[in-house]
A and B are shown apart, each in its own frame.
Chain A
Amino acid sequence: MYKFLLVPLASLALFAQEPITPISDNIIYNKAKAELGKKLFFDKELSKDGKLSCASCHHLPGNGADKKRFSRGSDNKTIHINTPTVLNSANNGSFFFEGKTTDIKKQVEISIESPLELDTTVGSILNRLKQSKQYKEAFDTVYTRQDEKQESVTKEHLLDAIAEFEKALSTPNSKFDKYLRGDTKIFTKEEATGYKKFISMGCVNCHNGVNIGGNMYQKMGIFTPYTQDQTLNGRIDITNRKRDKYVYKVPSLRNIAITAPYMHDGQIRTLKNAIKSMREHQLGVTNNSKSIRQIEAFLRTLTGETPAILKGER
């Protein structure tokens, strides 16, 4: 009786391609540059008053983000947006919740110069680095120059080194990645059902690709309005287009179990409540505690290995 309906309906649920791809377990990056970038990432000389480093808000090794709802930036100012994780961020289509840039090096520059974040300038950092014999030697070895006299401590090299470290921060071999590579038995029944529901409920329409998100923008509160701090306007700040009010980058769900609190404004503390909120606001689905449990079980399989470059760190 419903056969005529099922044909077009079934075809919708099918993806021509697997909507999610596993993280490569052999990521390519320049080790020397990444090690230099790592040093810079943890260096408090990169801030205005020598009190902050990138790692002050992006905890490493750890979740690459802040456990607090809001991080404190320069001069102890509150940053009214939840710190996104740096883990796997190189695979995102753009950077910052508002999508300020698609260039990873530009992201580093923006974070350095933002008055809320490190609140300094690339120029003053370069001046400080040039004073350090250690850094000068490190830059000299890592970056080949045309001749000895050419300066190796440059803006381009500074941003490049940190960007290269970010590229190294990928967390491969999560339980889900193993499942995707064919080890289907690794999933419990609940996790497998959770993944199926993740697709069939429509979560995957936004959270897809290698980072299970990070590649598009959506309005917070499509079906029912999402109440948030009114100081945040979203992508409209960048694009000046009406339709971008309360629009944010869809975040990656990789390592989601360890990156609480959730949402761009960090107002949800638990993963369960985050799923509930998303289903309600973004999909218009009535909540069903069984489905939520299953999806949560699936999301907990997305935690990957500590990046190789951080192994041995405490």
Chain B
Amino acid sequence: MKKYLVLIPILIVVASVIVFYTNKNLEIKEAEHKLTIIKETSHELDKMFKNHIFLIENLDTVNVDEVTQSAKELESYTKKYLETINAMDYERLYSLAKIIRSKSDALKYVYEDIKTDRAIIKSSKIWAINNFDSYIKYTHSLSYKNKEYLKYLVTAAINNSYKGLVNIKNVKYADALNQNLVMIQSKEQSLAKSFDMLQKNDISYELNEIILFTFKTMDNLRTQTDTIIKKLLIGSTLILLFALGMYARAINSLAQSRKLKNELSEFVHALDESAIVSKSDLEGNITYVNDKFCNVTGYTREQLIGKSHNIVRHPDMPEGLFKRLWNTIEDNRIFKGTIKNKAKDGSVYYVDTTIIPIHGEDGKIKEYLSVRYDVTNFYKEFDASEDKRQGNRGL
């Protein structure tokens, strides 16, 4: 179970990357959709605008209903277009839309004026054409030269190459002719102004800027996400590597400690088989005994735990020895020595004893471990030969 825990951070990292990516992707898709609409409608408006300008510039040769229709459509499309743009949350688009609005408003009147002025110019020119015969008819008094001059002036006025009045006296309709020539000239001036306005208020530049803006914004959006995704990937990879490292270490130390434990239990087993082992606290109370201890002393484990080691003390052992023993181990040294002990049934046994102080994590002595080897047989033989020798000597 524990080893699956390491999967949790991995899953969290993967899940958050996926969630973030999906969210960001949706966000971008939405923004892209909006920008695409703006791009397409800008293209469409530009097309409509250019078409209308073409129609207005060629009023004399195009279908007038087409011009009327185009003007209506351009106006309503521009209105809707500007509403769409203003609904978007981009400062730059807003300021461009403002310019387009003011230019379009100005142009609406320019289109009208061009139509109006063109019609008057046309009418005036037609008037001049229609009445030209009359000039000739009613001006018998004019010399041939003057008649030719008059023709020249009228033609020039009609072709917009003469600016001025026809100043010939005694010509019937002269006033009316002059009125028409003045009309042609002033309306031509007004037309020139209108065409100037057409150029000044060309919205193609702003539309182009808007289209460029949509491209740039989409690009920015993509790079921005790319960077975020890149950072996220690097970050998550690092987190994953770290988690894996920790996992590997944990697994490694687990294996090592298991191996140590195994080795240790082998040692303990060997020790238990060969030696009498006990542990005591700092006061000398028994905290642990192995089976061999119980066998040799004849006590059960329950009888021993919590008791002092004095329980197996033999009265033959001198007080000084124990003093030396305690001094040694309390001084953090290992005590070695052969001790005569007394079992439960009063029998005597000798043990070759090693007492080792065991340290806690704080470095202080925690308990004492005693390892003993039964050397009773050896001592009994020794005692017997000693008795014999003393007996012999006594003899």
A206, closest chain B residue (CB): B119
Roughly how many angstroms separate A214 CA and B155 CA in the complex, as a whole number?
32
Roughly how many angstroms separate A91 CA and B154 CA in the complex, as a whole number?
38
Cβ of A19: which chain B residues have Cβ within 8 Å of it? 64
B63, B67, B75, B132 — most chain A CB neighbours (10 Å)? B63
A18, closest chain B residue (CB): B63
In angstroms, how far is the closest chain B Cβ from the Cβ of A210?
A: 5
A186 contacts chain B at the CB level, 8 A cutoff: no
Roughly how many angstroms separate A9 CA and B183 CA in the complex, as a whole number?
17
In angstroms, how far is the closest chain B Cβ from the Cβ of A208?
A: 5
Cβ of A283: which chain B residues have Cβ within 8 Å of it? 123, 127
Evaluate contact between B155 and A93: CB separation under 8 angstroms: no
Interface positions, chain B 103-125, Cβ under 8 Å from A, are: 109, 112-113, 115-116, 118-120, 122-123, 125
Partner of B65, one of A21, A216, A219: A21
Evaluate contact between B130 and A210: CB separation under 8 angstroms: no
Roughly how many angstroms separate A210 CA and B130 CA in the complex, as a whole number?
26
Roughly how many angstroms separate A152 CA and B183 CA in the complex, as a whole number?
54
Chain B interface: which of A118-126, A168-176, A197-205, A303-311?
Answer: A197-205
A217 contacts chain B at the CB level, 8 A cutoff: yes
Cβ of A64: which chain B residues have Cβ within 8 Å of it? none
Q: Given A102-B71, A205-B122, A284-B127, decide whether A9 and B158 contact each other with a Cβ distance below 8 A.
A: yes
Chain A's interface size range is 35 or more
Partner of B68, one of A8, A15, A215: A215
Roughly how many angstroms separate A8 CA and B125 CA in the complex, as a whole number?
11
Chain B 61-84, CB-CB to A under 8 Å as 1, else 0, gives 111110110011001100000000
Partner of A216, one of B62, B115, B129, B183: B115
Partner of A93, one of B71, B113, B123, B126: B71
Q: Given A13-B126, A102-B72, A202-B122, decide whether A8 and B158 contact each other with a Cβ distance below 8 A.
A: yes
Roughly how many angstroms separate A21 CA and B75 CA in the complex, as a whole number?
23
Evaluate contact between B76 and A103: CB separation under 8 angstroms: yes
B159 contacts chain A at the CB level, 8 A cutoff: yes
Roughly how many angstroms separate A232 CA and B128 CA in the complex, as a whole number?
32
B176 contacts chain A at the CB level, 8 A cutoff: yes
Cβ of A219: which chain B residues have Cβ within 8 Å of it? 116
Q: Given A12-B129, A215-B67, A223-B179, decide whether A5 and B123 contact each other with a Cβ distance below 8 A.
A: no
A92, closest chain B residue (CB): B68
B60 contacts chain A at the CB level, 8 A cutoff: yes
Evaluate contact between A217 and B155: CB separation under 8 angstroms: no
Roughly how many angstroms separate A284 CA and B178 CA in the complex, as a whole number?
12
In angstroms, how far is the closest chain B Cβ from the Cβ of A117?
A: 23
Roughly how many angstroms separate A93 CA and B109 CA in the complex, as a whole number?
13
Prevailing SS type, chain B contact patch: helix
B122, closest chain A residue (CB): A205
A268 contacts chain B at the CB level, 8 A cutoff: no
A84 contacts chain B at the CB level, 8 A cutoff: no
Evaluate contact between A218 and B119: CB separation under 8 angstroms: yes
Roughly how many angstroms separate A77 CA and B120 CA in the complex, as a whole number?
36
Partner of B180, one of A8, A201, A243, A284: A284
In angstroms, how far is the closest chain A Cβ from the Cβ of B213?
A: 29
Q: Given A16-B61, A216-B116, decide whether A241 and B180 contact each other with a Cβ distance below 8 A.
A: no
Evaluate contact between A16 and B116: CB separation under 8 angstroms: no
Cβ of A216: which chain B residues have Cβ within 8 Å of it? 112, 115-116, 119
Partner of A209, one of B65, B109, B130, B158: B65
Evaluate contact between B109 and A12: CB separation under 8 angstroms: no
In angstroms, how far is the closest chain B Cβ from the Cβ of A4?
A: 7
Cβ of A215: which chain B residues have Cβ within 8 Å of it? 64-65, 67-68, 115
Q: Given A103-B76, A239-B109, decide whether A201 and B151 contact each other with a Cβ distance below 8 A.
A: no
Q: Given A102-B71, A216-B119, A284-B180, decide whether A12 and B64 contact each other with a Cβ distance below 8 A.
A: no
A222 contacts chain B at the CB level, 8 A cutoff: yes
Evaluate contact between B75 and A102: CB separation under 8 angstroms: yes
Cβ of A200: which chain B residues have Cβ within 8 Å of it? 126, 130
Evaluate contact between B71 and A12: CB separation under 8 angstroms: no
Evaluate contact between A208 and B122: CB separation under 8 angstroms: no
Chain B 143-180, CB-CB to A under 8 Å as 1, else 0, gives 00000000100110011000000000000000010011
B73, closest chain A residue (CB): A102
Chain A 159-181, CB-CB to B under 8 Å as 1, else 0, gives 00000000000000000000000
Partner of B116, one of A12, A209, A217: A217
Evaluate contact between A8 and B159: CB separation under 8 angstroms: yes
A17 contacts chain B at the CB level, 8 A cutoff: yes
Roughly how many angstroms separate A103 CA and B119 CA in the complex, as a whole number?
24
- Please list the 8 inter-chain residue pairs (A to B) with the smallest Cβ-Cβ separation, ordered nearest first: A202-B123, A16-B61, A209-B64, A93-B68, A205-B119, A215-B68, A216-B115, A202-B126
Please report A residues at the B interface, Cβ cutoff 8 Å: 2, 4-5, 8-9, 12-13, 15-17, 19, 21, 91, 93, 102-103, 200-202, 205-206, 208-210, 214-219, 222-223, 239, 241, 243, 247, 282-285
Please report B residues at the A interface, Cβ cutoff 8 Å: 60-65, 67-68, 71-72, 75-76, 109, 112-113, 115-116, 118-120, 122-123, 125-127, 129-130, 132, 151, 154-155, 158-159, 176, 179-180, 183
